[in-house]
Structure 1
Protein backbone atom coordinates (compact mmCIF):
# COMPACT_ATOMS: atom_id res chain seq x y z
CA UNK A 1 0.00 0.00 0.00
CA UNK A 2 1.28 3.49 -0.90
CA UNK A 3 1.90 6.09 1.70
CA UNK A 4 -0.07 9.29 1.29
CA UNK A 5 1.97 12.14 -0.13
CA UNK A 6 2.84 14.87 2.36
CA UNK A 7 2.35 18.55 1.57
CA UNK A 8 5.38 20.75 1.17
CA UNK A 9 6.06 23.58 3.62
CA UNK A 10 4.69 26.17 1.19
CA UNK A 11 1.53 24.12 0.64
CA UNK A 12 1.08 23.81 4.41
CA UNK A 13 1.26 27.60 4.75
CA UNK A 14 -1.28 28.13 1.99
CA UNK A 15 -3.60 25.48 3.44
CA UNK A 16 -3.40 27.00 6.92
CA UNK A 17 -4.21 30.44 5.51
CA UNK A 18 -7.17 29.00 3.61
CA UNK A 19 -8.42 26.97 6.58
CA UNK A 20 -8.51 30.07 8.81
CA UNK A 21 -11.07 31.64 6.50
CA UNK A 22 -13.55 28.78 6.84
CA UNK A 23 -16.44 29.23 9.27
CA UNK A 24 -16.71 26.25 11.62
CA UNK A 25 -19.99 24.93 12.98
CA UNK A 26 -20.56 26.07 16.59
CA UNK A 27 -20.40 22.60 18.25
CA UNK A 28 -17.17 21.68 16.53
CA UNK A 29 -15.46 24.98 17.33
CA UNK A 30 -14.47 23.92 20.85
CA UNK A 31 -13.12 20.58 19.63
CA UNK A 32 -11.01 22.18 16.90
CA UNK A 33 -9.60 24.85 19.20
CA UNK A 34 -8.38 22.18 21.60
CA UNK A 35 -6.64 20.18 18.84
CA UNK A 36 -4.79 22.98 17.04
CA UNK A 37 -1.68 24.70 18.26
CA UNK A 38 -1.23 28.47 17.97
CA UNK A 39 -0.57 29.40 14.33
CA UNK A 40 2.83 30.57 13.25
CA UNK A 41 3.20 33.95 11.64
CA UNK A 42 2.36 33.50 8.02
CA UNK A 43 4.15 35.32 5.26
CA UNK A 44 1.99 37.72 3.33
CA UNK A 45 0.98 36.03 0.09
CA UNK A 46 2.11 37.83 -3.02
CA UNK A 47 -0.71 39.09 -5.15
CA UNK A 48 -0.24 38.33 -8.80
CA UNK A 49 -1.49 40.98 -11.18
CA UNK A 50 -4.38 39.86 -13.32
CA UNK A 51 -3.65 40.03 -17.00
CA UNK A 52 -5.61 42.74 -18.72
CA UNK A 53 -8.42 41.39 -20.87
CA UNK A 54 -7.74 41.69 -24.59
CA UNK A 55 -9.33 44.58 -26.41
CA UNK A 56 -12.46 43.66 -28.33
CA UNK A 57 -11.78 43.24 -32.02
CA UNK A 58 -13.88 45.08 -34.53
CA UNK A 59 -16.49 42.97 -36.26
CA UNK A 60 -14.79 43.42 -39.61
CA UNK A 61 -11.13 44.23 -39.89
CA UNK A 62 -10.11 46.30 -42.90
CA UNK A 63 -6.37 46.25 -43.57
CA UNK A 64 -6.23 47.53 -47.12
CA UNK A 65 -5.86 51.19 -47.97
CA UNK A 66 -8.66 52.52 -50.11
CA UNK A 67 -7.26 53.82 -53.37
CA UNK A 68 -9.44 55.95 -55.60
CA UNK A 69 -9.89 54.11 -58.89
CA UNK A 70 -8.44 50.73 -57.87
CA UNK A 71 -10.75 47.72 -57.84
CA UNK A 72 -11.17 46.34 -54.32
CA UNK A 73 -11.47 42.67 -53.48
CA UNK A 74 -15.00 41.36 -53.17
CA UNK A 75 -16.41 43.31 -56.13
CA UNK A 76 -17.01 41.48 -59.39
CA UNK A 77 -15.73 42.97 -62.65
CA UNK A 78 -19.17 43.84 -64.04
CA UNK A 79 -20.24 45.75 -60.92
CA UNK A 80 -16.89 47.55 -60.70
CA UNK A 81 -17.05 48.51 -64.39
CA UNK A 82 -20.61 49.89 -64.00
CA UNK A 83 -19.53 51.78 -60.89
CA UNK A 84 -16.26 53.14 -62.33
CA UNK A 85 -17.80 54.29 -65.61
CA UNK A 86 -20.66 56.08 -63.87
CA UNK A 87 -23.43 53.73 -65.05
CA UNK A 88 -24.28 52.82 -61.46
CA UNK A 89 -26.36 55.82 -60.41
CA UNK A 90 -25.47 57.66 -57.21
CA UNK A 91 -28.24 57.31 -54.65
CA UNK A 92 -27.10 60.39 -52.72
CA UNK A 93 -24.83 63.36 -53.40
CA UNK A 94 -22.91 65.52 -50.94
CA UNK A 95 -21.46 68.84 -52.08
CA UNK A 96 -18.62 70.05 -49.85
CA UNK A 97 -18.02 73.36 -51.68
CA UNK A 98 -17.52 76.33 -49.36
CA UNK A 99 -16.99 74.30 -46.16
CA UNK A 100 -13.99 74.35 -43.90
CA UNK A 101 -12.09 71.08 -43.58
CA UNK A 102 -13.50 70.39 -40.13
CA UNK A 103 -17.12 71.01 -41.14
CA UNK A 104 -16.62 69.05 -44.35
CA UNK A 105 -15.29 66.05 -42.41
CA UNK A 106 -18.25 66.04 -40.01
CA UNK A 107 -20.68 66.42 -42.91
CA UNK A 108 -18.99 63.53 -44.75
CA UNK A 109 -19.10 61.27 -41.70
CA UNK A 110 -22.79 61.83 -41.01
CA UNK A 111 -23.62 61.63 -44.74
CA UNK A 112 -21.93 58.24 -45.18
CA UNK A 113 -23.43 56.74 -42.03
CA UNK A 114 -26.92 57.90 -42.98
CA UNK A 115 -26.52 56.69 -46.56
CA UNK A 116 -25.41 53.24 -45.48
CA UNK A 117 -28.20 53.02 -42.90
CA UNK A 118 -30.72 53.86 -45.64
CA UNK A 119 -29.34 51.13 -47.91
CA UNK A 120 -27.74 53.43 -50.49
CA UNK A 121 -25.24 51.48 -52.60
CA UNK A 122 -23.50 54.33 -54.43
CA UNK A 123 -22.90 57.87 -53.13
CA UNK A 124 -21.14 60.82 -54.72
CA UNK A 125 -19.02 63.38 -52.87
CA UNK A 126 -18.18 66.63 -54.67
CA UNK A 127 -15.07 68.39 -53.39
CA UNK A 128 -14.35 70.62 -56.37
CA UNK A 129 -11.05 70.81 -58.19
CA UNK A 130 -9.57 73.55 -56.06
CA UNK A 131 -7.03 76.11 -57.15
CA UNK A 132 -3.31 75.71 -57.58
CA UNK A 133 -1.21 72.80 -58.72
CA UNK A 134 -2.18 70.37 -55.97
CA UNK A 135 -5.87 71.23 -55.93
CA UNK A 136 -7.99 72.22 -52.99
CA UNK A 137 -7.71 71.18 -49.37
CA UNK A 138 -10.86 69.06 -49.48
CA UNK A 139 -9.70 67.24 -52.60
CA UNK A 140 -6.38 66.38 -50.90
CA UNK A 141 -7.95 65.41 -47.58
CA UNK A 142 -10.82 63.25 -48.86
CA UNK A 143 -8.71 60.10 -49.53
CA UNK A 144 -7.19 60.41 -46.05
CA UNK A 145 -10.62 60.79 -44.44
CA UNK A 146 -11.97 57.77 -46.30
CA UNK A 147 -9.18 55.62 -44.84
CA UNK A 148 -9.81 56.64 -41.22
CA UNK A 149 -10.96 53.79 -38.92
CA UNK A 150 -14.43 55.26 -38.44
CA UNK A 151 -15.14 55.59 -42.18
CA UNK A 152 -13.15 52.81 -43.85
CA UNK A 153 -15.51 49.98 -42.80
CA UNK A 154 -18.41 51.78 -44.52
CA UNK A 155 -16.74 52.00 -47.94
CA UNK A 156 -16.05 49.21 -50.40
CA UNK A 157 -14.50 51.20 -53.24
CA UNK A 158 -13.99 54.70 -54.65
CA UNK A 159 -13.57 56.08 -58.16
CA UNK A 160 -13.88 59.29 -60.13
CA UNK A 161 -17.07 59.20 -62.23
CA UNK A 162 -15.16 60.39 -65.31
CA UNK A 163 -11.47 60.68 -66.12
CA UNK A 164 -11.77 64.45 -66.62
CA UNK A 165 -13.74 64.99 -63.40
CA UNK A 166 -11.23 64.88 -60.56
CA UNK A 167 -13.33 67.12 -58.30
CA UNK A 168 -15.89 64.42 -57.63
CA UNK A 169 -15.57 60.96 -56.10
CA UNK A 170 -18.11 58.16 -56.22
CA UNK A 171 -18.16 55.78 -53.28
CA UNK A 172 -19.41 52.20 -53.37
CA UNK A 173 -20.82 51.58 -49.89
CA UNK A 174 -20.89 48.27 -48.07
CA UNK A 175 -24.26 46.71 -47.45
CA UNK A 176 -25.41 46.35 -43.87
CA UNK A 177 -25.80 42.70 -42.93
Structure 2
Protein backbone atom coordinates (compact mmCIF):
# COMPACT_ATOMS: atom_id res chain seq x y z
CA UNK A 1 0.00 0.00 0.00
CA UNK A 2 1.57 3.23 -1.18
CA UNK A 3 1.55 6.22 1.10
CA UNK A 4 0.48 9.67 -0.15
CA UNK A 5 3.41 11.99 -0.62
CA UNK A 6 3.15 15.23 1.37
CA UNK A 7 2.80 18.44 -0.74
CA UNK A 8 6.08 20.11 -1.57
CA UNK A 9 6.49 23.37 0.32
CA UNK A 10 7.96 26.35 -1.49
CA UNK A 11 11.24 27.78 -0.43
CA UNK A 12 11.65 31.47 0.43
CA UNK A 13 13.23 32.05 -3.01
CA UNK A 14 10.26 30.39 -4.75
CA UNK A 15 7.82 32.56 -2.78
CA UNK A 16 9.76 35.74 -3.67
CA UNK A 17 9.71 34.82 -7.38
CA UNK A 18 5.94 34.11 -7.21
CA UNK A 19 5.20 37.47 -5.64
CA UNK A 20 7.19 39.33 -8.30
CA UNK A 21 5.24 37.55 -11.02
CA UNK A 22 1.89 38.21 -9.27
CA UNK A 23 2.62 41.94 -9.02
CA UNK A 24 3.33 42.28 -12.74
CA UNK A 25 0.37 40.18 -13.90
CA UNK A 26 -2.97 41.76 -14.88
CA UNK A 27 -5.90 39.80 -13.38
CA UNK A 28 -8.62 38.65 -15.81
CA UNK A 29 -11.23 39.28 -13.13
CA UNK A 30 -10.29 42.42 -11.14
CA UNK A 31 -12.60 41.53 -8.24
CA UNK A 32 -11.15 37.98 -7.84
CA UNK A 33 -8.84 37.46 -4.91
CA UNK A 34 -5.16 36.93 -5.69
CA UNK A 35 -3.96 33.31 -5.37
CA UNK A 36 -1.34 32.79 -2.68
CA UNK A 37 1.02 29.82 -3.11
CA UNK A 38 0.86 27.19 -0.41
CA UNK A 39 3.26 27.88 2.38
CA UNK A 40 3.40 31.66 1.75
CA UNK A 41 1.74 34.19 3.98
CA UNK A 42 -0.63 36.55 2.10
CA UNK A 43 0.72 40.05 1.64
CA UNK A 44 -1.18 42.70 3.59
CA UNK A 45 -3.72 44.58 1.49
CA UNK A 46 -2.54 48.01 0.46
CA UNK A 47 -5.00 50.78 1.37
CA UNK A 48 -6.42 52.75 -1.53
CA UNK A 49 -5.04 56.29 -1.75
CA UNK A 50 -7.38 58.93 -0.38
CA UNK A 51 -8.73 61.50 -2.86
CA UNK A 52 -6.85 64.74 -2.78
CA UNK A 53 -8.80 67.55 -1.19
CA UNK A 54 -8.91 70.93 -2.93
CA UNK A 55 -6.31 73.38 -1.84
CA UNK A 56 -7.48 75.67 0.95
CA UNK A 57 -6.06 79.18 0.87
CA UNK A 58 -3.81 79.88 3.83
CA UNK A 59 -5.34 82.04 6.54
CA UNK A 60 -3.38 83.55 9.39
CA UNK A 61 -4.77 84.56 12.76
CA UNK A 62 -5.56 88.25 12.73
CA UNK A 63 -5.88 88.44 8.94
CA UNK A 64 -8.92 90.32 7.69
CA UNK A 65 -11.50 88.16 5.92
CA UNK A 66 -12.28 89.08 2.33
CA UNK A 67 -15.91 90.26 2.20
CA UNK A 68 -17.77 92.24 -0.43
CA UNK A 69 -19.87 94.69 1.60
CA UNK A 70 -21.68 95.90 -1.51
CA UNK A 71 -23.66 92.62 -1.68
CA UNK A 72 -24.83 92.66 1.94
CA UNK A 73 -26.14 89.56 3.71
CA UNK A 74 -29.29 89.03 1.68
CA UNK A 75 -28.54 86.52 -1.10
CA UNK A 76 -32.18 85.92 -2.11
CA UNK A 77 -33.54 87.46 -5.33
CA UNK A 78 -35.42 90.74 -5.04
CA UNK A 79 -39.21 90.78 -4.95
CA UNK A 80 -39.37 92.17 -8.51
CA UNK A 81 -37.02 89.43 -9.73
CA UNK A 82 -39.13 86.70 -8.10
CA UNK A 83 -42.33 88.01 -9.70
CA UNK A 84 -40.66 88.30 -13.11
CA UNK A 85 -39.45 84.69 -12.86
CA UNK A 86 -42.93 83.26 -12.29
CA UNK A 87 -44.44 81.31 -15.22
CA UNK A 88 -46.86 83.19 -17.45
CA UNK A 89 -50.39 81.85 -16.87
CA UNK A 90 -52.31 84.46 -18.84
CA UNK A 91 -52.41 85.51 -22.49
CA UNK A 92 -49.00 86.87 -23.55
CA UNK A 93 -50.42 89.81 -25.51
CA UNK A 94 -52.75 90.79 -22.68
CA UNK A 95 -49.87 90.52 -20.20
CA UNK A 96 -47.71 92.92 -22.24
CA UNK A 97 -50.55 95.44 -22.45
CA UNK A 98 -51.09 95.16 -18.71
CA UNK A 99 -47.37 95.72 -17.96
CA UNK A 100 -47.37 98.87 -20.12
CA UNK A 101 -50.34 100.27 -18.20
CA UNK A 102 -52.65 99.95 -21.22
CA UNK A 103 -55.29 97.95 -19.31
CA UNK A 104 -57.50 99.74 -16.83
CA UNK A 105 -58.07 97.87 -13.54
CA UNK A 106 -61.75 97.17 -12.93
CA UNK A 107 -61.45 97.46 -9.15
CA UNK A 108 -58.96 98.75 -6.63
CA UNK A 109 -58.20 98.18 -2.95
CA UNK A 110 -55.81 100.32 -0.91
CA UNK A 111 -54.13 98.42 1.94
CA UNK A 112 -51.65 101.19 2.64
CA UNK A 113 -51.40 101.91 6.37
CA UNK A 114 -53.21 98.73 7.46
CA UNK A 115 -51.72 96.21 9.86
CA UNK A 116 -51.14 92.67 8.64
CA UNK A 117 -54.04 91.46 10.78
CA UNK A 118 -56.43 93.85 8.99
CA UNK A 119 -54.93 93.69 5.51
CA UNK A 120 -55.04 89.93 5.01
CA UNK A 121 -58.80 89.41 5.50
CA UNK A 122 -59.54 92.65 3.62
CA UNK A 123 -57.55 91.42 0.63
CA UNK A 124 -59.25 88.01 0.75
CA UNK A 125 -62.74 89.52 0.74
CA UNK A 126 -61.80 91.88 -2.10
CA UNK A 127 -60.35 89.19 -4.39
CA UNK A 128 -63.16 86.69 -3.78
CA UNK A 129 -65.82 89.34 -4.41
CA UNK A 130 -64.14 90.70 -7.56
CA UNK A 131 -63.71 87.24 -9.10
CA UNK A 132 -67.30 86.29 -8.28
CA UNK A 133 -68.48 89.45 -10.08
CA UNK A 134 -66.52 88.51 -13.22
CA UNK A 135 -63.66 91.03 -12.88
CA UNK A 136 -60.39 90.06 -14.57
CA UNK A 137 -57.90 92.80 -13.63
CA UNK A 138 -57.81 94.45 -10.21
CA UNK A 139 -55.27 96.72 -8.52
CA UNK A 140 -53.93 96.12 -5.01
CA UNK A 141 -52.13 99.12 -3.48
CA UNK A 142 -49.69 98.30 -0.68
CA UNK A 143 -47.46 101.38 -0.56
CA UNK A 144 -43.67 101.22 -0.75
CA UNK A 145 -43.07 101.21 2.99
CA UNK A 146 -41.81 103.94 5.27
CA UNK A 147 -38.85 105.84 3.86
CA UNK A 148 -37.71 106.50 7.43
CA UNK A 149 -36.84 102.80 7.88
CA UNK A 150 -34.54 101.52 5.12
CA UNK A 151 -34.11 97.83 4.27
CA UNK A 152 -32.57 95.92 7.16
CA UNK A 153 -29.36 94.27 5.93
CA UNK A 154 -28.68 92.28 9.10
CA UNK A 155 -28.11 88.53 9.39
CA UNK A 156 -31.87 87.98 8.88
CA UNK A 157 -32.81 90.78 6.44
CA UNK A 158 -36.20 92.44 6.90
CA UNK A 159 -37.27 94.35 3.77
CA UNK A 160 -38.88 97.75 3.96
CA UNK A 161 -42.60 97.58 3.25
CA UNK A 162 -43.90 94.43 4.91
CA UNK A 163 -47.27 94.62 3.13
CA UNK A 164 -45.52 94.91 -0.23
CA UNK A 165 -43.70 91.66 0.60
CA UNK A 166 -46.64 89.76 2.09
CA UNK A 167 -49.35 90.47 -0.49
CA UNK A 168 -47.84 88.31 -3.30
CA UNK A 169 -47.50 85.43 -0.83
CA UNK A 170 -51.12 85.77 0.30
CA UNK A 171 -52.26 85.77 -3.33
CA UNK A 172 -50.55 82.38 -3.90
CA UNK A 173 -52.05 80.76 -0.78
CA UNK A 174 -55.49 79.21 -0.41
CA UNK A 175 -58.18 80.30 -0.94
CA UNK A 176 -56.90 83.06 -3.24
CA UNK A 177 -54.36 80.96 -5.17
CA UNK A 178 -57.12 79.17 -7.12
CA UNK A 179 -58.62 82.51 -8.22
CA UNK A 180 -55.42 84.35 -9.25
CA UNK A 181 -53.69 83.73 -12.59
CA UNK A 182 -50.96 86.37 -12.46
CA UNK A 183 -49.41 88.89 -10.08
CA UNK A 184 -47.22 91.66 -11.45
CA UNK A 185 -45.82 94.96 -10.29
CA UNK A 186 -48.03 97.80 -11.49
CA UNK A 187 -47.08 100.37 -14.10
CA UNK A 188 -45.92 103.76 -12.82
CA UNK A 189 -49.28 105.25 -13.84
CA UNK A 190 -51.01 102.87 -11.40
CA UNK A 191 -48.63 103.07 -8.45
CA UNK A 192 -45.42 101.42 -9.67
CA UNK A 193 -43.59 99.33 -7.05
CA UNK A 194 -46.17 100.32 -4.44
CA UNK A 195 -49.01 98.43 -6.16
CA UNK A 196 -49.75 95.13 -7.89
CA UNK A 197 -51.80 94.10 -10.88
CA UNK A 198 -53.75 90.95 -10.03
CA UNK A 199 -55.19 89.11 -13.03
CA UNK A 200 -58.06 86.82 -12.00
CA UNK A 201 -59.37 83.59 -13.51
CA UNK A 202 -62.74 83.54 -15.22
CA UNK A 203 -65.83 83.03 -13.08
CA UNK A 204 -67.12 79.46 -13.32
Shorter-chain TM-score tier: 0.5 to 0.7
Distance 1:111 1:72 in 2: 24
Distance 1:173 1:103 in 2: 22
How many Å apart are 1:76 and its aligned residue?
A: 2.4
The aligned counterpart of 1:101 is 116
Which deviates more, 99-108 or 67-76? Answer: 67-76
- Runs of 5+ in structure 1 lacking a partner? 1-66
Distance 1:73 1:127 in 2: 23
Distance 1:158 1:115 in 2: 15
Larger radius of gyration: 2
1:137 aligned to 162, 173, 197, which one?
Answer: 162
- TM-score for the superposition, normalised by structure 2: 0.50
2:125 maps to 1:110: yes
Choose between structure 1 and 2 for higher RCO, CA contacts under 8 A separated by at least 6 residues: 1
Contact map agreement 1:91 1:123 (CA 8 A) in 2? yes
1:84 aligned to 93, 96, 99, which one?
Answer: 99
Distance 1:92 1:68 in 2: 21
How many Å apart are 1:160 and its aligned residue?
A: 1.3
- Runs of 5+ in structure 2 lacking a partner? 1-81, 152-158
Residues 124-148 of structure 1 show CA distances to partners (whole Å, capped at 9, x for unaligned) of 0000000222221111111211111
- 1:145 to 1:71, Cα distance in 2 relative to 1, 3 A: closer
How many Å apart are 1:153 and its aligned residue?
A: 0.6
Moved over 6 A (4+): none
- TM-score for the superposition, normalised by structure 1: 0.58
Contact map agreement 2:145 2:160 (CA 8 A) in 1? yes
Distance 2:175 2:113 in 1: 24
